[in-house]
C-alpha cells in the first residue's frame, strides 16, 4: 500500500531538517560496537594463511603440524568447504558465481593473487594462531602472472583459468583467454554519425585500481551450537546477503544462521561480499567454540576488494555548434582474480547524461592476478566518466566552446533514449549544470599556474527488496526496525521519514537495525538504496500503523472507520462525523492499546522498481607547481540532484565524502606492484588517501528535483558525487598548464613528466 506520491513541500515538517542522528551519542563516547568490538566467553581467535605469490599452483598442503600445536582448535582448508556449481546467478550486472566465490574464500587448485586465502586456523590466542600459520606447509608451483589489463588481454598472456572462454561473443572463441566477458551496447548508426561530424576527438586513458579505503578492517565473530545453529556478528553492508552467501558456501540451512549487523566503520561497496565470515562460522562449527576474526590493514589491501583498473578509448564526433553526433567507447576493466568487474556499469553510465543519437560502448571484463574487484561507490561509473568527461573537455576546447555549455547543449532529458534501451524518465541533470553556471566562482579570475575544470556524472541508484516493522509503544513513541545497516546516517533519514508519516516528533522515533531473524529480507546497503527503498518500506509500514490507529479511534468513538482520517499525528472524525469528537493523538490512542485490540504494529516490504538516477556536476580550481608537478586544490564546488534532501547535513556530508574519494583516486591512490606481482604499498602510509590538510572546504549545491516514485521525492544520492572528480581535476590541470593527463593517478611525477614533454 503506497502513499500518495507527492506531498506539497510546505506540508513537510521534519523532512529537510538536520537533527542529531539517533545513533550519535554512542559513536562520540566510544560505546558503539563495531565489527571488532564484540567478544564472547570461550572465544578463539581465527587467522588466515595467505598466498605469498601472485599466481601459483598449490602442489600440496600439509596442516598436520599446525593442528598438533597446543591451543589450536580447528584448521580449515578448501577441502572442508563443499564444491559449488559453476553458474552465474542473478541479474547479469551483479551476477555471482559460487564456484568462483568458494575459491576466493579459500584457494583450491591455484592461488590467483598475493594475499589469496589458503588456510584458516582457530586457536586460544592470537599468538598461537599466528604460530600455527607458520607451521603450515604449502608447496607451490609458481606460475607467470599478469596484472595490467592490456597485458592480460594479450594472446600470449598467462591464463588464470585455462578453460575460460569469453562470454558474449557469437560464435564463442575457440581459444581460452583472460577475457571473461564482452558486452556491447549500440544506439543509432555511429559510422553515419562520425561521417556527419565537423570535428572528431579520439583519446585513450588508463586508471589504476583503487581501494575503498574504509578505516575499519573487516571483522566478525561467530558461534555455533551443537545442534548446528549459528550466530554471526559482522561489520557488513548487508547482513542478509552475508547470511545467503555463508549458508550457500557452507551448505547450511538459511534458518540456522542468524546474522547481526555490527556498527560498520566505512564500506563504500567493499563490505557487500564475504571474506572472513564463512571462515569464522566454519571454524566455530568445527571447533565448537566462538571464533573472532579480524583483518590487519595489510590483509585489507591484499585480500579484499579494490575496484578495477582500466584501459579505455573514447571517440566523440561533434558539429561546430556543439551538438554531439556520435560517440564510441571501448572499456577494458580488470576484474581481478575472478570475473565480475563493473565494466557493464561503465558501458551504461559513460554517455548516459547525454542526448547522442549515435552511440556505441564495448566492454571487456578481464581477469588478472590481483584481488577480485568489489563494488566501490557508483561501481564502474567513475572510471568510464574519467575517460568520457576528459574527452568532452577536449571536444569543447577544439570547437572553442565552454565545457559547461557543451554539456548543456547535449543534456539528456525525459524521453531521451539510454544506450541500453529504456528512455530517461527523470530530470535533474540540466539543473546541476545550471546551478554551477550560476555560481560566482565559475567565472572568477584565475592566477598563474591555476586552472579550472568541470565534469559531470551519472549513477543509476538502486531500489529492490527492503522490509520494515513499525511498532507503537504505550507512550506514543515508535520503534522502526529495518534490515539496512546504517553506513552514514540512514537511521536519521528513516526516523525523519517515519516521524513525518506518523506526525510525531523526530525524537519519539527510535530506529534500529534488526538482525536477520527479526525483520524481513532486506538487500544490502548499497546503490544508494536505503533512504529511498527501505524508506518506502518504513513509510508503508507507518501507513499501515496509521490505518490501525484510525480503526482504534473509530472503536473508541464507536463510529465507522471510514469516518476517521489521520492528520497531523491525530485521528480526527471526518465526513458525517466531522467535529463530533476531539481529535485523538497517536499518544492518546496508544495509551488505550490493550483495551482497543492489543499491540499496534505493522510490517511492510517492497521490491521497488522506481528509483531515480543521480546526476552530479562539479568544478574545481587547482594550482600546479610547475617545478614539482604537485597539484593543489584551491576550490571545489559540487552540484547534485538529490531528489529531496531528507537530512540536508548528511546529504552535504555524502557529497563531501564522494568528492574527496574522487580526489584521492585522481591524484595519488593506486595499487603499486613489484615485478613479482607483490603489492608494495599495502598500508595507509603509501596508499595515499587524502588527509585533512590536503583539502579546502568543499562547497555543495543541493538541487532538489523530487522523484515522483517516492512519497517524499527521495532519490539515492550517496554515489553520483564520486563520478566527476577525476575528469574535473584532469580538465583543471589541462586548463592550468596546457597538458592533458590521461593516466590515473595524476601523481606529481606524472604531472611533471607531462610538463617536461614537448
Partner 1 sequence: MSELRYEAPKTLEAAVALLAGAQGLTKVLAGGSDLLVQMRAGRIEPALVIDIKGIPEMTTITAENGGFRVGAAVPCMEIVEHKAFAKTWPGLTEAIALIGSIQVKGRASVGGNLCNASPAADSVPALIAAGAMASIAGPKGKREAHVEDIVTGPGKTSLAKGEIVTSFFLAKRPPHAADAYLRFTPRTEMDIAVVGAAVNLTLDAKGVCTDARVSLGAVAATALLVAEAAAALIGSSVDDAALARLEAAASAAAKPIDDKRGTKEYRIKVVGVMARRAATIARDRAKGNP
Partner 2 sequence: MAKHHVTTTLNGNPVEFLCETQQTLLDVLRDELHLTGTKEGCASGDCGACSVTVNGRLVCSCLMLGVEAEGKKIETIEGMANGAQLHVLQQKFLEHAALQCGICTPGMLIAAKALLECNPDPSETEVRYWLAGNLCRCTGYNKIVEAVLAAAVEMRRT
Distance CA 674, CA 677 (A): 5
Cell numbers of 625, please?
A: 607547481
Minimum distance from CB of 551 to partner 2 (Å)?
Answer: 39
- CB-CB contact of 111 with 104 (8 Å): no
Residue from 4, 8, 11, 39 in contact with partner 2 (CB under 8 A): 39
Q: Is 99 exposed, middle or buried (0-12, 13-18, 19+ CB in 10 A)?
A: middle
Spatial contact of 403 and 454, defined as CB atoms under 8 Å apart: yes
Q: Which of 691, 697, 757, 758 binds partner 1 (CB under 8 A)?
A: 691
Binding residue for partner 1, selected from 57, 64, 127, 413, defined by CB under 8 A: 127
Look at residues 699, 700, 698, 706 and name the one whose alpha carbon lies nearest to residue 642.
Answer: 706
Q: Which residues of 359-384 are buried (b: 16+ CB within 10 A; e: fewer)?
A: bbbbbbbbbbbbbbbbbbbbbbbbbb
**What's the rounded Cα separation, in Å, for the pair 364 and 373?**
14
C-alpha cell at 725: 572528480
Question: Does a cis peptide bond (omega within 30 degrees of 0) precede residue 702?
Answer: no
Residue 22: alpha-carbon gap to chain centroid: 23
In the set 2, 37, 80, 131, which binds partner 1 (CB under 8 A)? 131
Task: Residue 356: name its binding partner from partner 2, partner 1, none (Cβ under 5 to 8 Å by kind).
Answer: none
CB distance 232 to 277 below 8 Å: yes
List the single partner that 25 binds among partner 1, partner 2, none, CB under 5 to 8 Å by kind. partner 2
Q: Does 507 bind partner 2 (CB under 8 A)?
A: no
Name which of 720, 646, 709, 717 is nearest 494 in CA terms. Answer: 646
Please tell me whether residue 550 binds partner 2 under the rule CB under 8 A: no
Size of the site for partner 1 (CB under 8 A): 25
The residue within the footprint of partner 1, chosen from 19, 158, 648, 748 (CB under 8 A), is: 748
Question: Cβ 216 to partner 1, closest distance in Å?
Answer: 18
Is position 382 an interface residue for partner 2 (rule: CB under 8 A)?
Answer: no
Grid cell digits, residue 12: 513537510
Residue 691 engages partner 2 in binding (rule: CB under 8 A): yes
Interface pattern 5-34 for partner 2 (x via CB under 8 A): -------------x-xx--xx-xxxxxxxx
Judged by CB under 8 A, does residue 355 bind partner 1?
no
Q: Should residue 395 be labelled a site residue for partner 1 when binding is judged by CB under 8 A? A: no
Handedness of CA 462, 463, 465, 467 (dihedral sign): positive
| Binding residue (CB under 8 A) for partner 1 from 28, 31, 174, 685 | 685
Sequence length of the chain is: 758
Q: Output the smallest distance, CB 672 to partner 1, in A.
A: 5
Contact 500, 646 (CB under 8 A): no
The answer to whether 549 contacts partner 1 (rule: CB under 8 A) is: no
Site string for partner 2, 197-216 (x = CB under 8 A): ---------------xxxxx
Longest dimension (CA), the chain: 88
Distance of closest approach, residue 315 Cβ to partner 1, in angstroms:
32
What values do phi and psi take at 694, rounded to 5? Answer: -80, -15
Q: Does 650 bind partner 2 (CB under 8 A)?
A: yes
Q: What sections of 227-339 are H helices per DSSP? A: 239-250, 277-287, 297-303
Shortest separation between residue 751's beta carbon and partner 1, angstroms: 10
- String of contacts with partner 1 for each residue 9-38, x by CB under 8 A: ------------------------------
Residues in contact with partner 1 by CB under 8 A are 127, 131, 298, 627-630, 667-668, 672, 680-681, 684-686, 688, 690-691, 693-694, 747-749, 752-753
Residues in contact with partner 2 by CB under 8 A are 18, 20-21, 24-25, 27-34, 36-37, 39, 127, 212-217, 263-268, 294, 296-297, 487-489, 647, 649-650, 652-654, 656-657, 659-661, 683-685, 689-693, 695, 697-698
Amino acid at each position: 500500500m503506497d502513499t500518495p506520491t507527492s506531498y506539497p513541500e510546505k506540508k513537510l515538517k521534519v523532512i529537510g531538517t538536520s537533527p542529531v542522528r539517533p545513533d550519535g551519542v554512542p559513536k562520540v563516547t566510544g560505546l558503539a560496537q563495531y565489527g571488532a568490538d564484540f567478544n564472547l566467553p570461550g572465544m578463539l581467535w581465527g587467522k588466515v594463511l595467505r598466498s605469498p605469490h601472485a599466481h601459483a599452483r598449490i602442489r600440496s598442503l600439509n596442516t598436520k603440524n599446525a593442528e598438533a600445536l597446543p591451543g589450536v582448535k580447528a584448521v580449515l582448508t578448501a577441502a572442508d568447504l563443499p564444491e559449488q556449481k559453476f553458474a552465474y546467478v542473478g541479474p547479469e550486472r551483479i551476477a555471482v558465481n559460487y564456484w568462483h566465490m568458494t575459491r576466493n574464500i579459500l584457494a583450491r587448485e591455484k592461488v590467483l593473487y598475493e594475499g589469496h586465502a589458503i588456510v584458516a586456523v582457530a586457536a586460544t590466542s592470537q599468538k598461537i594462531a599466528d604460530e600455527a600459520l607458520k607451521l603450515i606447509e604449502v608447496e607451490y608451483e609458481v606460475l607467470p602472472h599478469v596484472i595490467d589489463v592490456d597485458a592480460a588481454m594479450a594472446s600470449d598472456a598467462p591464463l588464470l583459468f585455462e578453460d575460460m572462454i569469453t562470454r558474449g561473443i557469437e560464435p564463442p572463441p575457440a581459444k581460452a583467454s583472460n577475457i571473461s566477458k564482452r558486452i556491447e551496447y549500440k544506439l543509432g548508426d555511429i559510422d553515419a554519425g562520425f561521417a556527419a561530424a565537423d570535428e572528431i576527438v579520439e583519446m585513450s586513458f588508463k586508471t589504476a585500481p583503487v581501494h575503498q579505503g574504509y578505516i575499519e578492517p573487516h571483522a566478525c565473530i561467530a558461534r555455533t551450537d551443537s545442534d548446528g545453529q549459528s550466530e554471526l556478528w559482522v561489520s557488513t553492508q548487508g547482513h542478509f546477503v552475508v547470511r545467503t552467501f555463508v549458508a550457500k558456501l557452507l551448505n547450511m540451512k538459511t534458518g540456522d544462521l542468524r546474522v547481526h549487523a555490527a556498527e560498520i566503520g566505512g564500506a563504500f561497496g567493499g563490505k557487500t561480499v564475504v571474506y572472513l565470515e564463512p571462515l569464522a562460522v566454519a571454524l566455530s562449527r568445527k571447533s565448537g567454540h566462538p571464533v573472532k576474526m579480524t583483518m590487519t590493514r595489510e590483509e585489507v589491501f591484499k585480500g579484499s576488494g579494490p575496484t578495477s583498473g582500466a584501459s579505455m578509448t573514447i571517440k566523440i564526433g561533434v558539429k561546430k555548434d556543439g551538438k554531439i553526433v556520435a560517440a564510441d567507447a571501448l572499456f577494458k576493466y580488470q576484474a581481478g582474480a575472478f570475473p565480475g568487474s563493473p565494466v557493464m556499469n561503465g558501458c551504461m553510465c559513460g554517455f548516459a547524461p547525454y542526448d547522442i543519437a549515435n552511440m556505441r560502448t564495448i566492454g571487456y571484463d578481464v581477469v588478472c592476478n590481483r584481488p577480485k574487484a568489489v563494488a566501490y561507490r557508483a561501481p564502474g561509473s567513475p572510471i568510464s566518466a574519467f575517460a568520457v568527461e576528459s574527452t568532452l573537455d577536449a571536444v569543447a576546447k577544439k570547437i572553442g566552446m565552454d565545457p559547461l555549455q557543451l554539456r548543456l547543449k547535449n543534456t539528456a532529458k525525459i524521453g531521451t533514449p539510454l544506450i541500453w534501451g529504456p528512455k530517461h524518465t527523470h530530470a535533474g541533470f540540466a539543473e546541476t549544470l545550471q546551478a554551477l553556471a550560476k555560481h560566482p566562482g565559475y567565472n572568477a579570475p584565475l592566477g598563474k599556474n591555476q586552472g579550472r575544470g568541470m565534469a559531470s556524472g551519472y549513477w543509476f541508484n538502486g531500489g529492490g527488496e527492503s522490509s520494515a516493522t513499525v511498532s507503537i509503544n504505550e507512550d506514543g513513541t515508535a520503534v522502526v526496525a529495518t534490515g539496512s545497516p546504517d553506513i552514514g546516517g540512514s537511521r536519521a533519514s528513516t526516523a525523519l521519514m517515519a516521524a513525518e508519516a506518523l506526525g510525531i516528533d523526530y525524537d519519539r522515533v527510535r530506529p534500529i537495525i534488526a538482525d536477520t531473524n527479526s525483520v524481513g529480507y532486506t538487500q544490502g546497503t548499497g546503490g544508494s538504496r536505503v533512504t529511498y527503498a527501505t524508506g518506502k518500506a518504513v513509510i508503508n509500514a507507518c501507513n499501515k500503523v496509521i490505518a490501525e490507529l484510525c480503526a482504534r479511534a473509530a472503536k473508541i468513538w464507536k463510529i465507522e472507520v471510514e469516518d476517521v482520517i489521520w492528520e497531523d499525528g491525530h485521528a480526527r472524525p471526518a465526513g458525517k462525523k466531522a467535529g463530533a469528537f476531539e481529535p485523538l493523538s497517536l499518544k492518546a490512542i496508544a495509551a488505550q492499546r490493550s483495551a482497543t485490540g492489543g499491540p499496534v504494529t505493522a510490517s511492510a516490504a517492497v521490491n521497488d522498481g522506481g528509483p531515480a538516477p543521480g546526476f552530479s556536476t562539479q568544478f574545481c580550481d587547482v594550482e600546479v607547481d610547475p617545478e614539482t608537478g604537485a597539484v593543489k586544490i584551491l576550490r571545489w564546488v559540487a552540484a547534485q540532484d538529490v531528489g529531496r534532501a531528507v537530512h540536508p547535513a548528511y546529504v552535504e556530508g555524502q557529497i563531501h565524502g564522494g568528492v574527496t574519494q574522487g580526489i584521492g583516486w585522481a591524484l595519488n591512490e593506486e595499487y603499486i606492484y613489484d615485478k613479482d606481482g607483490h603489492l608494495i604499498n599495502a598500508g595507509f602510509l603509501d596508499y595515499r588517501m587524502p588527509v585533512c590538510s590536503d583539502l579546502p572546504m568543499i562547497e555543495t549545491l543541493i538541487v532538489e528535483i523530487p522523484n515522483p516514485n517516492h512519497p517524499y521525492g527521495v532519490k539515492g544520492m550517496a554515489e553520483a558525487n564520486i563520478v566527476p572528480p577525476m575528469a574535473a581535476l584532469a580538465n583543471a590541470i589541462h586548463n592550468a598548464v596546457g597538458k592533458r593527463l590521461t593516466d590515473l593517478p595524476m601523481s606529481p611525477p606524472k604531472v611533471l613528466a607531462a610538463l617536461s614533454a614537448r
